Amino acid sequence: MGLMRFLVYPEETLDDWPEVHSAYVSGIDGRVSPTRIEIEGNLVTCRRPHSDSGKFHVPWPVAGHGRPVVSTASLRERDEPYLLTLELARGALSQLRDQCAAWQLLQMATPDEYHKAEKTAFHLFSQATTAQVDPQESSRLAAAAIAQTLSASSLLVESYIEQRHAMLKYSPGHSSKLLGCTFDSAFSDSRHAATIGDVFNSAMIPVEWKHIEPNEGDYHWEDLDRLVDHCDSLRMILCGGPLIDLGPNGMPEWLSQWQDDFINLQSFVCDFIETAVSRYTGRVRIWEVSARANTGVALGLGEENRLALAVRSLETAVRTDFESQFFVRVDQPWSEYQARGQHRLSAFQFVDTLIRSNIGIRGVNLEVSMGFRPRGTLLRDLLSVSRMIDYWSQLGVQLHVTLAVPSSDQHDPLAHPDLEVDHHASRNCWNPALQAEYAVELIRLLTSKPVVTGIFWCHFRDSVPHLYPNSGLTDGDDRPKEALEIFRKFQHGETPLP
């Protein structure tokens, strides 16, 4: 069994640091190892099945930046514990320098402000390295180096975004991206229905099996038909799905009686997909066939059966409407879920397997839901998001990104009961203004990536049942939040500054 140990200073950090239990180790290929975290005093012990070198990733409290995931450089196992803050500073600075060098090779100009910030971060790290005889002082300097590194990272990414936007503006093959949102099936009757065409150019139509067929053979298409008619009348590009959601409570309850009969279960799934796709053929041009199959626990299906079900679902959808585009959605695209030891395939490997099946998949929707626990995406800085998009671009297919960010850490009675807002994660208390800030930063970055062809928000209204707490673009009283105006500006060609 592999073992890594880290000393944490100041020791009181562990008094208010529950995120340490979300830490994990990845190998040289980026694969996340099953990881168990143990704490004794100020010693954090990380256990895993093998003893190869690896990077330790953990949400770390950084002044002015919240608690984003910070990573060490690749470390070998040794008897003497590592000084955690120092190794995190080393890893953060190394990642920043590597990315800067890669962008400079692509002829990107780096601003003087970045070089000053990076030099300050390196100076602090050098002082921390030479002060290891005093772990408290070394950790203090290393913590300052991490904060300065993340500030330098923000400057570098901002320069990248500005230069990418300037270049894409004059690129002959550049086309506009889909900007959309998931609307609930009753949305066409809401007071915002008439204005969404001014905010979005695309609509995600929630073809939710559990609501359409709550009892076997009892279909309810009326609300969905009205929503499709309404969005179609506004000349929005319609995306439908997910047709099957393998996340918790994503499938009809009556289907559970067939969970031990996989052959018949596949037949029910394929029948529903064929019915739904046929109903909206020619109107819905982009279908999200499956969601959360990489992590899902629906119907107690194992990983092999979830993969087989995703393949059969795609085959059925393509056969029913070969002219449409078909996507799959994955959550936790950094694959931190593998740390629990219950999944063999990373999110990337799961989708890569589907693509290699040669069944007509045109793209993948990456669900980035920051600020939620226990099933959300751990908070990342923009450089980490950029690197993640670049990594997924290796698949050679279109990328859509679905975003979810909370606007409050208060209890949300209409959200999924297993999810709550992580009030520790953000750089300030969650509020509508902070939600809008994250929306601006993430959308500006994603629109600078040519491989990203669609950006969607998780849901529009907090006043109806939804998955992620307090993350809609209107509140519980249907009043618009600041993030809604952000989408309107992007839709009209404006680029709000962070």
Separation in Å, CA 387 to CA 56, 102, 181, 362, 446: 17, 11, 24, 22, 11
Provide, rounded to the nearest whole percent, the portion of the chain with pLDDT above 90: 84
Mean pLDDT of 210-215: 94
From 249-258, 389-398, 400-409, the region with the lowest mean pLDDT:
249-258
Mean pLDDT of 460-486: 95
CA 193 to chain centre: 27
- The region that residue 322 occupies, defined by phi over 0 for left and psi between -120 and 50 for alpha, beta otherwise, is alpha
Which one-letter amino acid corresponds to residue 382?
A: L
Residue 244, pLDDT > 70, answer yes
What pLDDT does residue 457 have? 97
Residue 169, pLDDT > 90, answer no
Q: Characterize 82-91 residue by residue with b for buried, 16 or more Cβ atoms within 10 angstroms of its Cβ, and e for exposed.
A: bbbbbbbbbb
**pLDDT, tens only, 13-31:** 999 899 999 999 999 888 8
Q: Residue 320 and residue 315: Cα distance in Å, rounded?
A: 9
What pLDDT does residue 498 have? 65
**pLDDT, tens only, 249-295:** 899 999 989 988 999 999 999 999 999 999 999 999 999 999 999 99
Mean pLDDT of 29-53: 92
CA dihedral 353, 354, 355, 356 (to 10 degrees): 50
CB-based contact 267:230 (threshold 8 Å): no
Of 483, 373, 468, the C-alpha closest to 423 is 373
Of 76, 20, 66, 15, the C-alpha closest to 45 is 20
Q: Is the pTM of this model over 0.85?
A: yes
Residue 171, pLDDT > 90, answer no
Secondary structure (DSSP) of 31-60:
PEEP-EEEEETTEEEEEES----BEEEEE-
**pLDDT, tens only, 132-163:** 999 999 999 999 999 999 999 999 999 999 99
**pLDDT, tens only, 95-138:** 999 999 999 999 999 999 999 999 999 999 999 999 999 999 99
Q: Residue 299 and residue 196: Cα distance in Å, rounded?
A: 36
